[in-house]
Chains A and B, each alone.
Chain A
Amino acid sequence: MRVRPLALLLLAACVARGPAIVVRDAYGYQPVLGDVGAVYFTVENRAGTADTLTWAEVAGAGVAMIHEQVADGDRVVMRHVGTLPLPAHATVQLKPGRLHVMVEGFERSPLAGDTLLVTVHFARAGAVRVRAPVLAYGTEP
């Protein structure tokens, strides 16, 4: 079969483009008392159009809610974040003290060394799955 050079170029361009949304550097913390934990990751929107992170789920956990630590004077309070806007070419990092996925209702409480399967849902890009190693609090990733 003969493949025209132009077709090859187009194919290469598509492959090089890769996914519009990349979820990377995921990790979670082992729940101290087995009931409440947190998951963090970085979302990169490589597309030229905006997207929205709509929700996240963690396999084996009944509840996963995106929370933001909001400054209230010198206090902080967690607020539930319904959706997380992702402007074109933006990178959003979930990290301690800012944004996290609060995870509860574990079928089996994860331990340091385990891996959590996290699915992050986006309005345009759909579901993106990522593995999050579980760390002990005090382990700085």
Chain B
Amino acid sequence: MTAVRMTLALTAPLCLLAVACEARRAPSAGAPEAGGESAAREYPNPRPKPDFTLTDTEGRPFAFRQATAGSVTLLFFGYTNCPDVCPVHMANIASALHKLPDAVARQVTVVFITTDPERDTPARIRAWLDHFDPRFIGLTGSQAAVDSAQVAMHLPPAYKEDLGGGQYQVGHSAHVIAFTRDGLARFAFPFGTRQSEWAQEIPRLVAYPDQP
């Protein structure tokens, strides 16, 4: 299996109600860093990994549950025209993984699902992800298929915000959903999670439940 597989599912919206009801978990160690919201949120009722199939950047079907079985999976919905939240999240995860021992990093699959399949061609997604880590997995599909994947994660689907002149941006969830190796979504990492926090939390996710 590929070392670190980041499934690029450009899924825009994040789970509003679900995460809103989540308990907040204290940072694993040390004092919280400046930068605001950063601690992982633990789902009070861990959710099973949804069973949907999208298309990877090579044009092959990618059955999310099956293809990521047994690995810690970090799932993010976003889009490549996003200049702020999406690249910062991806870069921070990639930087943390690059600093961790390979034995830890290769147990993590990162999946990015586009919430903007209209503009995000497979080639564009691939090029965008390669900038961070070529092992990250990018997924796309029809708008309906991408929306369904978000709904399967209890997230409201992303939506377009018209900028005029045929331009638009996409409202989407800013959280990264973390599945432990048992296939359950246990944590949501909000925007603002820093590289040092990822570097602390990823080994804990890999070791879960030994280091809950």
Contacts and interface: CB of A to CB of B under 8 A. Distances in A.
B171 A32 contact: no
A77 B131 CA distance: 23
Nearest to A78: B169
Interface residues of B, number: 45
A32 B124 CA distance: 11
How many chain A residues sit at the interface, stated as a range, is: 20 to 34
Given A32-B128, A97-B192, A138-B91, A75 B84 contact: no
Interface stretch (B15-23, B42-50, B68-76, B141-149): B15-23
A33 B131 contact: yes
B16 A74 contact: yes
A37 B83 contact: yes
A74 B20 contact: yes
Contacts of B92: 138
Contact of B80 (A33, A73, A103): A33
B171 A140 contact: no
Contact of A74 (B19, B85, B88, B170): B19
A78 B14 CA distance: 14
B52 interface: no
B203 interface: no
Nearest to A102: B83
Given A33-B127, A76-B191, A137 B88 contact: yes
A52 B73 CA distance: 45
Interface in B155-172: 155-156, 158-159, 161, 163, 169-172
A29 interface: yes
Given A32-B128, A97-B192, A76 B83 contact: no
Helix, strand, loop or mixed for chain B's interface? mixed
B54 interface: no
A100 B194 contact: no
Contact of B156 (A37, A75, A76, A80): A75
Given A33-B131, A97-B192, A138-B195, A74 B87 contact: no
Nearest to B161: A77
A78 B168 CA distance: 10
Contacts of A72: 171
Contacts of A136: 91
Given A33-B131, A140-B194, A75 B12 contact: yes
A136 B195 CA distance: 14
8 contacts: A67-B84, A73-B17, A75-B172, A76-B14, A80-B163, A97-B191, A100-B84, A138-B132
Interface of B: 12-20, 36, 80-85, 87-88, 90-92, 94-95, 124, 127-128, 131-132, 155-156, 158-159, 161, 163, 169-175, 191-192, 194-195
Nearest 4 CB-CB pairings of A with B: A77-B171, A73-B16, A138-B91, A74-B16
